[in-house]
Amino acid sequence: MTTSIALLGTGLMGLPMARQLLGAGHKLTVWNRDASKAAPLAGEGALVAASAADAVKGASHIITMLTDGTVVGHVLFETGVAGAISPGATVIDMSSIQPSQARAHAERLSGLGIFHLDAPVSGGTGGAEAGTLAIMAGGDQQVFDNASGLLSAMGRAVRVGPSGAGQLAKLANQAIVGIAIGAISEATLLVSEGGGDLEAFRSALAGGFADSTILQVHGQRMQENDFAPRGRVSVQIKDLDNVLLEAGHLGIRLPMVEAVRDRFVRLMTELDGGNLDHSALFVELLDLNGRSPAPRV
């Protein structure tokens, strides 16, 4: 069923997500702070709004795909967006933010008669382009059910629990991703230094307990010295900082997250790698071992 949607934020992830919504036949209005990033969608069937507040007028569902919780809060509550949303509409925040921020946003919007889901995603730009994102949702079951049709255009959505639960699941996801990238970088260096064939190594592990998308995709990037940004180091650090902040609220320690977070920070601050793909943690490992990345083939 066609739905009238506003999508705020058409960056690396938001742009391909918008294309999936258009491909599913939805009526779509888009907005981005840098208008040039939204402009290509005008030729693909979307309306490009001059402001975020203009974009949401008349929309039944408003999707936000923005940098962090502070930006989401600013756009929703300080640019006229919340006041322009029709009562009974649903805001679906697909950004990665703190669970406490998601709960606060839901409460404020509820006071205006607006429903809310926190629905962050995993799968990177490849998943966004293919419409195969993993979508982790928090919020009321009925609100989730009503949004399931449009969410299915972008990937597989699962309701994890009440408001904030989607963001909590995303933090757990990012903890696994960061730690796994660290483990795979060390395994890649070990095999490479021992004279093994890295492509054959990944093939040998395929289907076993150590296999994963991260091993196959990020391991190949490490082998090929291909660190063009898909998931940026700076964003990975933001997510790991949020993991540790939430852990602090819960009164627990996550030592592996702490260790890998410090390595990503070193990659950004000492090796100027903040805008590289997070698989570039391999570069930081090479530097620790006095080695340089191999030339690209």
Q: How far apart are CA 223 and CA 200, in angstroms?
A: 11
Q: How far apart are CA 166 and CA 152, in angstroms?
A: 16
Which one-letter amino acid corresponds to residue 78?
E
In 3D space, the residue among 26, 27, 71, 79 whose CA is nearest the CA of residue 52 turns out to be: 79
Contact 89, 57 (CB under 8 A): no
**Tokens read off for 113:** 């008669």
The answer to whether residue 27 is catalytic is no
Q: Residue 272: left (phi > 0), alpha (psi -120 to 50), or beta? A: left
Which one-letter amino acid corresponds to residue 249?
H
Catalytic hit among 27, 37, 57, 170: 170
Q: List Cβ neighbours of 264 (8 Å cut-off, separation of 6 or more).
A: 178, 233, 236, 237, 240, 278, 281, 284
Catalytic residues: 170
